[in-house]
Amino acid sequence: MENIVALCKRRGFLFQSSEIYGGLNGFWDYGPLGVLLKRNVKDAWWNDMVMSHNELVIPGGAPGTYEMTGLDCTIIMHPQIWKCSGHYDLFHDFMVDCRETKKRYRYDHILGRWVLAASPATRVFVTTLETENTQSALEEAALKFFGLRKKDLDKLQWEGEIMSLPDVMRVASDTAKILAPDAKTPGTLTEPREFNLMFKTTLGALGTEEDTAFLRPETAQGIFANFKNVCDSTRLRVPFGIAQVGKSFRNEITPRNFTFRSREFEQMEIEFFCHPSQSAQWYAYWRDRRFAWYIKMGLAGERLQLREHGATELSHYSCGTADIEYQFPFLPPGEFGELEGIAHRGDFDLRSHMEGKLVKQGNELVLEKLPNGQPKHRGSGKDLTYYDDLTKERFTPHVIEPSAGADRATLAFLCEAYQVDTAPDEKGQPQERVYLKLHPRLAPIKAAVFPLVKKDGMPEIATEIYGELKQQFSVFYDDKSAVGRRYRRQDEIGTPFCITVDGQTVQDGTVTIRDRDTLEQERVHRNDLVQELTQRLG
Ligand code: ATP
């Protein structure tokens, strides 16, 4: 992971936000190559899910035809949206504060283990946030606490397995023995408390409580709030999906693992509206279709998995949820991180925005009421049901929600693409080569154009070719240093093809195209380059 992070910084994929001022935790900037890569991820998603969808044909695995469209909603919306959706009351994580270090942690992110030292005979639960080398981080914390040196490691007696803080607090009555990360004395952690993850902001100049608004923590609610507008302004018929790509904000307590858990990130969400009788089939369709998309874009292999949630893990409104997960290199072996959740949300969302905030009572969703019988959070009162004029039926559509993170997908594609092999250098000597084996659709630069040398008419032809290709592709011109080094520079950023103008080009108009992965070179006429690249980029 360190190598990937270093490459991202060195070659301009990702920078820490506000780095010149020491950075801001949980915020990341995409550099010149990163912006291209992330845009390609979002474009591939939008193109495959929305633009290229053919509503006249039943796709494999789907129960029927359907339509797709898009929206671009505002980040700040009416605060009532978040009250009815449940985010205002429910969208929280539990967190603990350390009274000694004044640091705040997400409750379930602290890992630790019981340890005893012979002298003094004290038993303590040492903790860390480190997930990659948890045991060695715990050893370091324990040595420090007991005032021992590295060579005294055998004086530590470990008890039981590594556990998360909620697990230990559930069974251990003695929380005074828990040593917080970086603390000197045990027992400094507060009881876990709720923490609302929505960023607050103030509208207008007065700044009263009534003017409080929130930065959206997900893009989905803007889609529900516009469901009626979309139905009334288009001829879309259920089943149809509305897609949206945009920024979301969550005041994560412990942002970490590079861009994986950020406070500002981008989501790619679809809300798919269907008849309740078909929603189970549509759920299965979207779950499998989204999983297949990651494989198609390059995440094949044992590092990707589809995990169906068990009954206890489901949200109170969900009739089925699956996560698409990736084994990021910063996670401990065998652990996966969520890339996308696909949820069967029933009629929860549309009903919430009609009636008001709902709660589960037995198996029913009912309006949550205050002691005086008034709704806790009143809905819009607008009719968000759907009338099917063919079957003459009125119903509240069910929703299937494939909700993906653009930053997590981009990070997974980067991690999967990072490869090291051996390839001959310009003198024919085998050398270690770092390259990004990105899908050509995702690669920030599609082709680089090189004159072999800066003379004999080669730069003039290469400049012309570059100008022609630039009309259609993201291309890069490089005439600096030996051609082998130029290849390496492109391999390292995942450029799938390098086009070299050499002596023969001057004679017969052909150039070489070198493939990043196979290193094979083929001669192609310069007039056929656009067609050739279009075909190869897929
Ligand atoms: P987690 O359990 O990891 O916090 P979540 O289940 O809360 O994630 P969702 O609310 O389902 O996430 O959001 C949908 C997608 O948005 C996630 O699968 C992920 O790709 C992305 N996402 C959510 N939170 C973050 C974040 N803090 N940073 C980056 N991406 C995020």
Distance 265 CA to ligand 1 centre (A): 9
Per the DSSP assignment, residues forming a β-bridge with 179 are 126
| pLDDT digit string (tens) for the chain, length 538 residues | 889 999 999 999 999 999 999 999 999 999 999 999 999 999 999 999 999 999 999 999 999 999 999 999 999 999 999 999 999 887 667 889 899 998 889 888 899 999 998 666 788 999 999 877 899 999 999 999 999 999 989 989 999 999 999 888 877 667 789 999 999 999 999 888 877 889 999 998 887 878 899 999 999 999 999 999 999 999 999 999 999 999 999 998 788 899 999 999 999 999 999 999 999 999 999 999 999 999 999 998 889 999 998 876 777 667 789 999 999 999 888 889 999 999 999 999 999 999 999 998 888 899 999 999 999 999 999 999 999 999 999 999 999 999 999 999 999 999 999 999 998 777 778 889 999 999 999 999 999 999 999 999 999 999 999 999 999 999 999 999 999 999 999 999 999 999 999 999 999 999 999 999 999 999 999 999 999 999 999 7
What letter would DSSP give residue 528? G
Report the phi/psi class of residue 257: left, alpha or beta, with left for phi > 0 and alpha for psi in -120 to 50.
left
Distance CA 452, CA 505 (A): 10
- Quickly list H helices, 297-369: 348-355
Output the CA angle 281-283-289, nearest 5 degrees: 100
| Cα dihedral value 405, 220, 214, 36, nearest 10 | 40
- Quickly list H helices, 129-250: 134-146, 165-171, 220-225, 227-233
Decide the pairing of beta strands 510-515 and 240-249. Answer: unpaired
Pocket test for ligand 1, best of 245, 338, 401 (most atoms within 8 A of CB): 338
Task: Supply the DSSP string of 20-66, one letter for each residue.
Answer: GGT--TT-EEE-HHHHHHHHHHHHHHHIIIIIT--TTS--TT-SS--
Distance 44 CA to ligand 1 centre (A): 20
Please identify which residue in the block is written with the tokens 């005439």.
479
Distance CA 30, CA 25 (A): 15
Q: What is the pTM of this model?
A: 0.85
State pLDDT tens for residues 38-71. 999 999 999 999 999 999 999 999 999 999 999 9
Question: Do the Cβ atoms of 257 and 330 come closer than 8 Å?
Answer: yes
Distance CA 397, CA 274 (A): 5
Distance 38 CA to ligand 1 centre (A): 17
Q: Which residues line ligand 1 (CB under 6 A)?
A: 218, 250, 252, 261-262, 265, 267, 338-341, 403-405, 407-408
Distance CA 297, CA 416 (A): 11
Residues 6+ apart with CB under 8 A from 160: 113, 114
Distance CA 190, CA 186 (A): 11
Q: What is the pLDDT of residue 43?
A: 98
Closest CA to 509 of 497, 517, 499, 494: 499
Residue nearest to atom 3 of ligand 1 (CA): 338
Alpha-carbon Rg for the chain in angstroms? 28
Per the DSSP assignment, residues forming a β-bridge with 189 are 98
For the record, the structure tokens of 115 come out as: 């340890």
